[in-house]
Structure 1
Amino acid sequence: MAQHNELGKKGEQLAVDFLLKENYKIVERNYRFDKAEVDIIAKKDNILAIIEVKTRSTKDFGNPQDFVKPKQIKNLVKAVNEYVIENDLESEVRFDIIAVVKENNGFSIEHLPNAFYHF
């Protein structure tokens, strides 16, 4: 597997571990619909958190969250609308980003709730 794919998988697992420690329940991982893949769908209280994980080996080219583009957001919103309808959910939906950056002795993790879209 390519090194960037391994880093991405590691970042997603670190994000899941982080969310579990924060008392989120992981509902789904890697949900796919049409052209979108939702990295993590988690629930806390009555909030369905849709989480895009961005992992980078360095911040030299910018923060990981800066790499979520408008077209990706549009596709994620479409996928989540389908997920909510298909599962007949009555929750508040929130879109978050978890930014993971490899550092000398581990990883830094930053959780950005309500990162780009809210309905």
Structure 2
Amino acid sequence: MAEHNALGKAGEDAAVAYLESHGYVIRHRNWRKGHLELDIIAAKNDELIVVEVKTRSDADIMQPEEAVDRQKIKHTVRAADTYIRFFQIDVPVRFDIVTVVGKPGNFKIEHIKEAFYPPIF
């Protein structure tokens, strides 16, 4: 596995552990349907939370959440809509970002709740 892929998996594992320790129930990880993918789908307090995870070894050049641009938001919302329809879910949905910065075993995790809202198409 390439080093950046290993870092990404370790970051996602850390994000899952963080969410679970804060009372979130993980429904799916890396859910795929065709070309659509969601990093983490969680539930808490009768709400569905779609979590985009961004892992970086450092944040000197750019903050990880800055990588969630307009195109990424549109793609994530489209994937979430497909997920909701596929599983026939009827609860409020929230879009969060979890940033993971550092090295495995020494990550700094930040949870940005309601990081973005679905754009109007």
Q: TM-score, normalised on structure 2?
A: 0.92
Counterparts of 1:35 and 1:116, CA distance in 2? 22
Give the match for residue 25 of structure 1. 25
**How far has the Cα of 1:42 moved from its partner?**
0.2
Give the match for residue 83 of structure 2. 83
Give the match for residue 113 of structure 1. 113
Tell me if the contact between 1:35 and 1:75 (Cα under 8 Å) persists in the aligned partners: no
Counterparts of 2:21 and 2:109, CA distance in 1? 13
Counterparts of 1:33 and 1:77, CA distance in 2? 13
Counterparts of 2:11 and 2:113, CA distance in 1? 17
Q: TM-score, normalised on structure 1?
A: 0.93
Matches within 5 A, 1:1-119: 1-102=1-102, 106-117=106-117
Q: Decide which moves more: 20-29 or 64-73.
A: 64-73
For this pair of structures, how many residues does the alignment match?
119
**How far has the Cα of 1:34 moved from its partner?**
4.0
**How far has the Cα of 1:70 moved from its partner?**
1.1
Counterparts of 1:108 and 1:115, CA distance in 2? 18
Tell me if the contact between 2:74 and 2:118 (Cα under 8 Å) persists in the aligned partners: no
- Match of 1:4, as an amino acid? H
**How far has the Cα of 1:9 moved from its partner?**
0.1
| Secondary structure of 1:71 counterpart | helix
- Structure 1 residue runs without a partner (length 5+): none
**How far has the Cα of 1:36 moved from its partner?**
2.9
- Structure 2 residue runs without a partner (length 5+): none
Q: Decide which moves more: 20-29 or 109-118.
A: 109-118
Q: Decide which moves more: 32-41 or 12-21.
A: 32-41
| Per-residue Cα deviation, 1:23-43 (whole angstroms, up to 9, x for no partner) | 100000101234332100000
Residues 80, 88 of structure 1: CA spacing in aligned structure 2 closer, same or farther, 3 A cutoff? Answer: same
Query: Identity percentage over the alignment?
Result: 44
Residues 23, 118 of structure 1: CA spacing in aligned structure 2 closer, same or farther, 3 A cutoff? Answer: farther
Counterparts of 1:68 and 1:78, CA distance in 2? 14
Tell me if the contact between 1:94 and 1:118 (Cα under 8 Å) persists in the aligned partners: no
